[in-house]
Structure 1
Amino acid sequence: MYKSQRLLRLMMIINAKKSFTIPELAMDLGVSPRTISRDLTDLGELGVPLYSIQGRGGGYRLLNERILPPIAFTESEAIAIFFAVQSLRYFGALPFGDQAESALDKFYHYLPFDVREQINRLQDKVAIWSPNRSMSVSCLTVLLQAIMIKSAVTIDYNSSENGPNTREIQPIGLYSDRGYWYCPAYCFTRQAYRLFRTDRILTASLNDNVSCLEDVDRKSVLNWDVEELDRQEKTLFCVRLTEKGKRKLEGNGRFRDFIESQDEGGGIIRMHIPANKLEFYTDMIWELGQEAKIAEPMEAITYINCKLQGMKKLYP
């Protein structure tokens, strides 16, 4: 076995073990303990985070995180991965902190020169804009970790209604909308499902004392509130769109499936929404200006008129 093959095999073995000794590895690979010692030194110089355990029954362990074995990518795949990571650069915070940037640096360093040249030409040529919102990276990281290992979390949450308060939650997932990160979760404190805006989470820590619920774990960010929405009072929300307004809303997941095209190029929306979310939906239509007109319900029209009166006071 060539040394390069042996080092790759060795990396795969130690990734699969919580701890190991030199004699164990020597037996697995069929080489001498001295060879394994040299190989471990080489892996350490390559960045594999090994540390030794002293005393009787000692050996070696991986420090903190395991190292993944090498993966072969085509040039097109390499460019796709680089662009995908670069698209995150405009977020104010990410659940994995600066690890994406660190991974990208390693990835870029080992690319062939001509592929790096192609990627360099993409710098500042393509961007996916996202509003830069300020929020705690550490809290996002804890929430992501809790989702991965199925753990409850204790948070201090600054509610707009009740001010700061402590909650025990089981996170369902994370999603981003207009630069904000949201965490749908089951709140053990309120004994109900809640949607938490993560920039309002002041602190977050894993809580092993709270048992997670299997029903909650089976939910996703796509269906976590379906049962709750079905129980809520609904109202018909009807909006007429110009051709330009229709194009703008076709990218909005809340409205996209409800847009009916009209012969003149515009469209109409007919959908039933929770009555207590009326202002939320109306505010999104308000952003379209003259490209949309709410036909019903009357409560939404009244709300728009109040906003117009407020604007007139600013611009008499």
Structure 2
Amino acid sequence: MSKAKRLLDILVFATTKRVFTAQEIADEFNISIRTVHRYIIDLSEMGLPIYAEQGRNGGYKVLTGKMLPPILFTEEEAVSVFFAFQSLRYYRNLPFDTEINSVTHKLYTYLKHDAKEKVDALRSYIAFWNPKRTINTPLLKEIVKLTIENRNVRFCYESKSGIKEKYVHPIGVYAHDGLWYLPAHDFQREKIILYRVDRIVSILSTEECEEKFINLEEWFSSYNISNPIQLKVELTKEGVRQCKSVPYLQELVSIHEDGAGEINASIDKNEINFITPVFYRLGKDAKVLEPRELRDSIRAHAKEILNLYTD
């Protein structure tokens, strides 16, 4: 029997019994005590949380019952795991970064030479690029944990107007453009507000929640316009290209035969401040016809910039 097969059998035996002696393994698999000790060291290096209990009645104990049974990956499946992890490499903070490093290390260690070459090429030539943010998000893990536990949260949040206390129920956490966002039901404003996780300064308290709220998946698919207003924009060819690169605008763009285009759709009035920088940045490639509030907002933005450069 190969060593790999023997290790796999002992791993199943150890995680099932959790408490055992070297003699029990020796008897079960008809091997010497010395060989048992070598295999235990190998399993420990592979990540099995096991320790030796000293004394007359000593033996071995697996520290947790949360170990998964052995999973056999094909070479292509293992490489695909590395491919998936590539999409996360440009984020400064991840909810489970230590675990990801552990998984990749274990997988890479036991890959065959040709599979390791595939993974090395994958790392060097393929990337899911996101802006490399220098902003730290120290409370990301804690926020994710509280969200999964369905708890209400009080935290201090830093915004343009200063640091304020918020009382919310998180409905999920998602990453976009290198940053982490927290949609949450704000109890004071009685609606879902989108927060940046890196701007959460401290968590003041948490409490159990018995109410039923929508989850992140439901929120993504249930966009409601509570205060509709018409958005009309004329776009040059370059304006079309730029708007097609903006996720929340791309589906609103209609393209003409000459390549130019337009936007004629209903949006929520509350989004005006959010989309003003987008159309200001497009300059002459996007002429906003309606609403008047957006035109005024772009004009005010331009005046602020112009005032910085007056002699």
Normalized against structure 2, the TM-score is what? 0.77
Q: Residues 300-311 of structure 1: matches in 2 within 5 Å? A: 300-311=294-305
Which residue does the alignment assign to 1:202? 201
Residues 288 and 81 from structure 1, CA distance in 2 versus in 1: closer, same or farther, beyond 3 angstroms? farther
Give the share of equivalent positions with the same residue, in percent: 28
Matched to 2:160, the amino acid is S
Of the structure 1 ranges 138-147 and 154-163, higher mean CA displacement relative to structure 2 is found in 154-163
Paired position in structure 1 for 2:216: 220
CA gap of 1:73–1:205, structure 2 versus 1, over 3 A, is farther
The 1:66–1:80 alpha-carbon spacing in structure 2 relative to 1, beyond 3 Å, is same
CA distance in 2, matches of 1:151, 1:6: 45
Q: Answer whether contact 2:158 2:164 (CA < 8 A) is retained.
A: yes
Q: Structure 1 residues 222, 258: closer, same or farther in 2, change over 3 A?
A: farther
Which residue number in structure 2 is paired with residue 244 of structure 1?
238
CA offset at residue 182 of structure 1?
0.4
One-letter identity of the residue aligned with 2:269: A
For the Cα contact (< 8 Å) 2:234–2:263, is it kept in 1?
yes
Structure 2 distance, partners of 1:268, 1:102, is 49
Query: Is the contact made by 1:135 and 1:198 (CA closer than 8 Å) also made in structure 2?
Result: no
Matched AA of 1:203? S
Q: 1:166 to 1:264 in 2, by over 3 A?
A: closer
Q: Secondary structure at the match of 1:203?
A: strand
- Runs of at least 5 residues in structure 2 that lack an aligned partner in the other structure: none
The residue aligned with 1:111 is 111
Letter in 1 for 2:61: Y
How many Å separate the matches in 1 of 2:107 and 2:62?
Answer: 25
What does 1:1-316 align with in structure 2 at a 5 Å threshold?
A: 4-5=4-5, 7-9=7-9, 11-12=11-12, 20-22=18-20, 38=37, 40=40, 42-51=42-51, 60-63=61-64, 66=67, 69-75=70-76, 77-161=77-161, 163-165=163-165, 167=167, 169-188=168-187, 192-204=191-203, 207=206, 209-213=207-211, 215-216=212-213, 218-221=214-217, 223=219, 226=222, 229-230=224-225, 232-316=226-310
**CA distance in structure 1 between the partners assigned to 2:81 and 2:137 by the alignment:** 23
Instruction: Please give the per-residue CA displacement for 1:110-163, whole angstroms capped at 9, x wherever unaligned.
Output: 332233334434445344332333444441112223344444444332243352
Q: Quick one: structure 1 residues 99 and 41, their matched pair in 2 at CA, closer, same or farther if it must change by over 3 Å?
A: closer
Paired residue total = 305
Cα offsets for 1:161-214 (capped at 9, x unmatched)? 3524253x432221122322101123456654322210111234884x42243x
Distance 1:301 1:170 in 2: 35
> Using the alignment, how far apart are the partners of 2:61 and 2:154 within structure 1?
34
- Assess if the C-alpha contact under 8 Å between 2:166 and 2:186 holds in 1: no
Aligned pair in 2 of structure 1 residues 118, 22: CA closer, same or farther (>3 Å)?
closer
> Equivalents in 1 of 2:166, 2:65: separation in Å?
30
SS in 1 for 2:307: helix
**One-letter identity of the residue aligned with 2:20:** I
Aligned residue type for 2:145: Q
Q: CA deviation at 1:61?
A: 4.1
Go from structure 1 to structure 2 and tell me whether the alpha carbon gap of 1:101 and 1:270 turns closer, same or farther (over 3 Å shift): farther
In 2, the alpha carbon distance for the partners of 1:170 and 1:54 equals 48
The residue type paired with residue 301 of structure 1 is R
Matches of 1:127 and 1:97 in 2, distance apart? 18
Instruction: Provide closer, same or farther for how the CA distance between residues 97 and 315 of structure 1 changes in structure 2, counting only shifts above 3 A.
Output: same
**Gap regions ≥5 residues in structure 1:** none
Change in 2 beyond 3 A, CA 1:259/1:224 = closer
Say if 1:243 and 1:267, in contact at 8 Å, map to a contact too: yes
Letter paired with 1:100: I
Q: d(CA) in 2 for partners of 1:202 and 1:262? A: 48
